[in-house]
Amino acid sequence: MNLKKIFVTGFILSCFSQATFAENNDLTKQFAACMDKSGGVTAEILDCIGSEVKYQDARLNKAYKELMPTLSAARQKELQEVQRLWIKYRDANSSFYADPDGGSMTRISSNDNFLSMTAARAKELEDFKKLY
């Protein structure tokens, strides 16, 4: 194994430690287990992230749909506008991570950013609903 591959594998594993995900992002235990089993293989990591994105996106949509009826009509319109802007930002920010000259690490970083932002937004909306 060459030095670059050792560095990349170590970097990937440090980015995707089970404790970090579980504590900070409300990601599933299945995701952490999948990442542990990935062995630092890019395709495996991307599959794990893709599965978790589906779960977190459903969580986000559920939180949004549950929050909307608790708001006045004016606040519903505001939330809809904010959510549309947030989606544009998340997508643009995640795309920025995907440097076309950066190799497979940028694909992982881009997908990880998308996942992290989606999970954080889901939690934000869940927490916001508790205020009302």
Query: Which residues, including other chains, have CB under 8 Å from residue 99's CB and lie 6 or more apart?
Result: 106
If one counts the domains in the chain, the total is: 1
Q: Reduced to 3 states, what is the DSSP secondary structure of residue 71?
A: coil
Range of the domain at 7: 3-130
Surface-to-core class of residue 123, CB atoms within 10 Å of its CB (0-12 exposed, 13-18 middle, 19+ buried): middle
Residue-by-residue pLDDT tens, the chain, 132 positions: 554 454 455 555 555 544 454 555 689 999 999 999 999 999 999 999 999 999 999 999 999 999 999 999 999 999 999 999 999 999 999 999 998 888 889 999 999 999 999 999 999 999 998 887
pLDDT value of residue 17: 46
The tokens describing 50, both together, are: 């893709």
Query: What is the CATH number for 112?
Result: 1.20.1270
pLDDT value of residue 21: 47
